[in-house]
Amino acid sequence: MSRARVARRIAAGAAYGGGGIGLLGAAAVGVVLAEVQLAKRTVGNSGEHPAPPRADGRYGWGFADRPDGAEPLRFAMLGDSTAAGQGVHRARQTPASLLAAGLSAVAERPVELRNVALPGAMSDDLDRQVTVLLSDTSSWVPDVCVVMIGANDVTHRMPATRSVRHLAAAVRRLRTAGAEVVVGTCPDLGTVENVYQPLRWMARRVSRQLAAAQTIGVVEQGGRTVSLGDLLGPEFLANPRELFGPDNYHPSAEGYATAAMAVLPTLCAALGLWPEEERPDVSRREGFLPVARAAAQAASEGGTEVAAAMPTGPRGPWALLKRRRRRRIHHHTPDPSPLPQ
């Protein structure tokens, strides 16, 4: 069965309350469980994980005195340890800080960042995170949100339909509150060092299937997605010492910068800050596709954006697949200033 059809089945199950989609044959379960136990002893076994640095605050104070008096952009980060910045030691190295600084530079406005991501979180924690974020809509409502989630859903074997259902519900709540939403889909877990075959192949397959299904669920709720899996995969495999952190599982500062560099153009485009071409660039293999096909293609190529396009077509909802040029982000920016109370 093609990845597009599997993704569509998962997304449909999520929307209509279906059960999990079986992705692995029963004969492989024993081998997989043995590989999982071996991987647990060698991956992420560098002792206790320190809490990720807090990057909340205001970025771009140099733009505070703009003559037009523009208010700061409000940016929120949600998700798991990747969104929280687990594995680095300075706030300015986290993906949220990198994106806030980059967004401020492009918009030429201050950016207020709030990060409610939780290390170890699965998609069923997004409801709590959204509630925390929207707890006081009278004083702070995000203009745009980035969500990075999915890896723990795979490693904890959460049914893909349940995973997508929680993510879609979170996107729907954020969109209803008036925020633009960008989701960095499930990374390719087949790139983690010390994960051997056949677990590596199975992890890659399940990761990409979940990423494609996430894309369908997010786009149908009015959000945008950026594929992270294949983007980081080849670079992690080629430069594991540089792009993985000390625990051989979470990204290093360079790894986070690579991911943020892919997300920033879509983050800016969601706010109308990125130049939009009138037509897709055929030379970059951009175009309008049924959403399931666009999702499957994006899952196979990192840095690919998928956004809603035509509401319907002969084969269901359609989406615009974009391959935006990345913008280099420097992670040597000053630490943020505290948010005003």
Q: What is the pLDDT of residues 97-115, one digit of tens each?
A: 999 999 999 999 999 999 9
Residue 96 has pLDDT above 90, yes or no: yes
Give 203-242 pLDDT, tens digit per residue: 778 888 899 999 999 999 999 999 987 565 555 555 554 4
Give dist(CA 66, CA 110) in Å, integer: 10
Q: Which of 81, 97, 104, 227 is the catalytic position?
A: 81
CB 313 within 8 A of CB 33: no
List the structure tokens of 93: 């190295």
At 197, is the pLDDT very low, low, confident or very high (cuts 50, 70, 90)?
A: low
Q: Which of 125, 143, 250, 331 is the catalytic position?
A: 250
Instruction: Say whether 49 is catalytic.
Output: no
Mean pLDDT on 295-312: 82
Look at 11 and 317; give whichever has higher pLDDT. 317
pLDDT for res 17: 56
Instruction: Say whether 250 is catalytic.
Output: yes
Instruction: Say whether 56 is catalytic.
Output: no
Burial class of residue 29 in the structure, from the number of CB atoms within 10 Å of its CB (0-12 exposed, 13-18 middle, 19+ buried): exposed
Beta bridge partners of 74: 112
At 22, is the pLDDT very low, low, confident or very high (cuts 50, 70, 90)?
A: very low
Lowest mean pLDDT among 53-67, 284-298, 309-323, 327-341: 327-341
Look at 209 and 44; give whichever has higher pLDDT. 209
Mean pLDDT on 155-172: 92
Quote the mean pLDDT of the chain.
78
pTM, to two decimals: 0.83
Give 257-277 pLDDT, tens digit per residue: 888 999 999 999 999 997 766
